[in-house]
Chain A
Amino acid sequence: MADHSAKSSNGHPQDFEVRILRQDGPGQGSYWESHRVAYEPDMNVISALQRIAAQARTVDGKGVAPVAWECNCLEEVCGACTMVINGRVRQSCSALIDRLLADHPGEIVLEPMNKFPVLRDLVVERSRLFRALKRVKAWIPVDGYYELGRGDKQSQAEQEVAYPLSQCMSCGCCLEACPQYAKIEVSPLSGESSEALQQRRDAEFDRGFVGAHAISQAMLFNAHPTGRMNASERLDTLMDEGGLQICGNAQNCVAVCPKQIPLTTSIARAGRATTLRLFQRWFDC
């Protein structure tokens, strides 16, 4: 390993190493590659990756294709930049280099999320996450967008329950950390159209676990005065295959959510609501 004792006068290292688990495409093998980045104040993992892209050269001086990754907002609100950093799933834009180096001097390790198929390097395919939002009908079923007056009055207390749930940015950290959430990777068949592939993929997704984020969204919409009108449809989905019963209540999800969404509270609420729904269904038939 390289010598990390070189420090500039202000106690910061002159540079640091970033070790990245790369993969050239779906279904291909992965490999480790190390890059050296000159230290600058106020860096985060994104700015380090930007330097790496500009250099496109490994520690050994080998010219390589720039590492692929995703980001957009750079302020932890868009959910794009999720990756596994020093073993922990999190947003890379808010992962500050100073703090990472303080915890783990000299080297930063980046890996793609494990629960989603890798497209390339640190970029993964997360459409399952959005598919889950369709499964639980995460929307308000309004009549339309013409002028129909204002919405319902709501108390401050209700707003203060809804708002945190509504901050879910579909980053997928909760899914990466969940022991019950298993990766689903559907590879294209030869000659298959992209529409046909998508259909097959969605069917697979719909059998898999919906995940903590979608359960929490279902609870958000079930609490809304209009959203409540399809509460039972959402609950039925949660009682179906891939629904709430998969959750083992390990509580890993809530620990890693960058938005500190009270996922386990939502899960508990969903548990009570589905139980009631079960009784209701017995009486209905």
Chain B
Amino acid sequence: MAKKRVMVIGGGLAGLAAAMKLAELGIPVDLMSLTPVKRSHSVCAQGGINSVSDLTRQEGDDESKHFDDTVYGGDFLQHQPPVKEMTLWGPKIIDLMDRLGVPFNRTAEGYLDRRRFGGTLYKRTAFSGATTGQQLLYALDEQVRRWESAGLVTKYEYWDFLGPVLDESGVCRGCVGQDLVTMEIRTFPADAVIVASGGSGLLFGRSTMSMVCTGSAVSRCFQRGAKYGNPEFVQVHPTAIPGADKLRLMSESARGEGGRVWVPRTPQDPRDPKTIPESERYYFLEERYPKYGNLVPRDIATREIFDICVNEGLSVEKDRQCVYLDLTHISRRELDRKLAGILEIYEKFQGVDPRDVPMKIFPAVHYVMGGLWVDYQRTTAGGLNIDSPRTHVTNIPGLYAIGECDYQYHGANRLGANSLLSCIFSGLIVAPAIKSLLDSQKGPEPSSLLYESARREHQSLHDGLLGRRGGKENPYLIHQELGDVMTRAATVVRRNAQLATALEKVNELSERAQNCSLSDTGNWTNQNVVFTKALLDMFPLAKSILMGALARDESRGAHFKPDFSMPDLKATEPGERRREAEKWCDWFQENTRQWLRSTIATWNGKNPDLTYEAVDTSLIPPRPRLYGLAGAQIIDEVWRQRSQAQANAATNPAMAGTAAAS
């Protein structure tokens, strides 16, 4: 029997971590990517990567707090065992990356320096200037190159993954790929396929993501039967630089290093911002969230910035929405040492030095929490059984998903600097899982007919696209329209009427896209046909996002529906205010009962069908997620008392009546 092989789709952090670990286990890997792996989107990550450190530990931090921050940040919508395991691995992963030569910033004594990120009170984030993703990716790229030299990894760069090959019993036996230069379509037999294809920001037209983040690989698995979890959860990052081709990110690390967000109290104050006195500046995040200040989680910061500009009319500029992100109070030397990478981006693209002048920023689509549904096996202690072949497998046996393209770790909202961690973590742990799978596989290899028919099917789709005559739709313009619709209906604020209209529009665009005619019908480096295929595959995901959002009548993390949110407390009289808080908690309990479940989309050939999955919240019980919002402390208090009463009731049933009455 031929030696077992594994195909990895994508060479970002997740795919490279998986490839390198598989190679270490002696398993030969084929690695397919649209771009040379060193140019993967992960290079864009700026701010850093989280783990508990020796220092935060002495400030009272530990892995259970990192776990709690992640789950609270994600509004409890993620299964807890995988998150717990990830936070346990955090320190080990940073040690490993350090050993691999990542030039992390150092303290004066030579230890790894850390900064604070959103949604936590601890300085957990290790960083390498403001280009941490690039540095982490390069370290993994170097290791994979080492294995490539040793003959264990074979790269297929400039190849497009067209879909998995499934046998009669629905098991994944390899995949189909297309060479982007010669346009050759061929199949790759494999004993397991790992999809590590990253996010799908291009569904929204412009985002902070790179140009290959089309979601095509995920969609191609989805259309073959893989389940898609929590599609409606899309992160809009609070601070990006608006641009014609891309919304460039201004990392959370800018706030982690002391950057402050503000607007002039006078709408569109024409003065030079540096001359506006403190008393006339509205530091709205600091005022509204005294505990977390500028480092509230992203969904909250985004909604507040949006609210300040759209509802309160306090945008810095009249005909463009933006607020100030101010670093000018920090010394140049400090800024250059820790943030040079992002400040240069601002300088280069805006022509203004943010060391001297406050930056103008506005929210932008940034990350997808949703992704391919994947499995895990829980240990009794509530962690993961790493060697289980179920780790990170989709509902299609033999097909795995890791990195940004799985739905596993971030629930309804991702905390900053947790993605680089989940990408590397999932890449490292999928390798032993696959080893267990390969060790247990028996039975005959699939016949060559299976591969030949898969190849022929994709070849005829491709030839069909090239041969299409008479269509008049332009794929690039349809993409623009899709981006506009999605951005308008499915980002910061969501309303059912808008979502329903958007869904109709997307259905219509999807029909029209069937009539795209190609301006290039050749068979050599044809980017036109590759883009058109990716565009066609955006619709199943776009529909899932809209349908998931439409169906979810609540607000949770990044999914905000004002029509289904509990109003703020109004009363000022303490007794009345307490009663309101009680009501709020009743509502919260009922909402949790009804909505604390993951959306699971399944493709029925034309449209997504939605079902729901219970979430394992057995380790940390859900609680209201208010981040110390000024004026809402009473809710937390009421909730604490209720939980306490419940806990007492559980340990001492006789006391139950008294505790509830007090």
Interface residues of chain A, those whose CB is within 8 Å of chain B, are 24-25, 40-44, 46-47, 50, 53-54, 56, 63-66, 68, 70-80, 93-94, 96, 119-121, 123, 126, 130, 133-134, 137-142, 144-145, 147-151, 153-156, 158-160, 162-163, 166-167, 169-170, 221, 224, 226-227
Given contacts A42-B243, A53-B528, contact A150 B98 (CB under 8 A): yes
Closest chain B residue to A153, Cβ basis: B110
A151 x B527 contact (CB < 8 A): no
Closest chain B residue to A217, Cβ basis: B142
Interface residues of chain B, those whose CB is within 8 Å of chain A, are 20-21, 24, 35-36, 38-41, 43-44, 92, 95-96, 98-101, 103-111, 128-129, 131, 134-135, 138-139, 142-143, 145-146, 148-149, 181, 210-212, 243-246, 248, 337, 341, 345, 348-349, 428, 474, 476-477, 519-522, 524-528
A138 x B145 contact (CB < 8 A): yes
25 contacts between A and B (CB under 8 A): A40-B244, A42-B243, A56-B519, A65-B521, A66-B520, A72-B39, A72-B40, A75-B345, A78-B35, A78-B39, A120-B524, A130-B36, A140-B101, A140-B143, A141-B146, A145-B20, A147-B95, A153-B110, A155-B110, A163-B129, A166-B138, A167-B134, A169-B43, A170-B36, A221-B101
- Chain B nearest CB from A18 CB (Å) reads 15
Chain A residues whose CB sits within 8 angstroms of the CB of B105 once the complex forms: 156, 159
Chain B residues whose CB sits within 8 angstroms of the CB of A77 once the complex forms: 43-44, 131, 134, 341
A80 x B35 contact (CB < 8 A): yes
B110 x A154 contact (CB < 8 A): yes
A65 x B20 contact (CB < 8 A): no
A57 to B180, CA, bound (A): 23
A42 x B244 contact (CB < 8 A): yes
A24 to B149, CA, bound (A): 33
A64 to B519, CA, bound (A): 7
A121 to B375, CA, bound (A): 45
A79 x B38 contact (CB < 8 A): yes
Of B44, B519, B525, the contact of A75 (CB 8 Å cutoff): B44
Task: Across the A-B interface, give the 4 residue pairs with the lowest CB-CB distance, nearest first.
Answer: A151-B98, A56-B519, A139-B142, A65-B520
Chain A residues whose CB sits within 8 angstroms of the CB of B135 once the complex forms: 163, 166
Of B99, B111, B246, B248, the contact of A226 (CB 8 Å cutoff): B99
Closest chain A residue to B143, Cβ basis: A139
Chain A residues whose CB sits within 8 angstroms of the CB of B212 once the complex forms: 72
A79 to B349, CA, bound (A): 17
A119 x B525 contact (CB < 8 A): yes
- Chain A nearest CB from B294 CB (Å) reads 23
A149 x B110 contact (CB < 8 A): no
Closest chain B residue to A70, Cβ basis: B35
- Chain A nearest CB from B337 CB (Å) reads 8
B349 x A145 contact (CB < 8 A): no
A50 x B245 contact (CB < 8 A): yes
Of A40, A56, A151, the contact of B95 (CB 8 Å cutoff): A151
A282 to B247, CA, bound (A): 57
Q: List 6 additional contacts besides A74-B210, A140-B100, A226-B99; criterion CB under 8 Å.
A: A66-B528, A72-B40, A78-B39, A120-B524, A148-B95, A159-B103
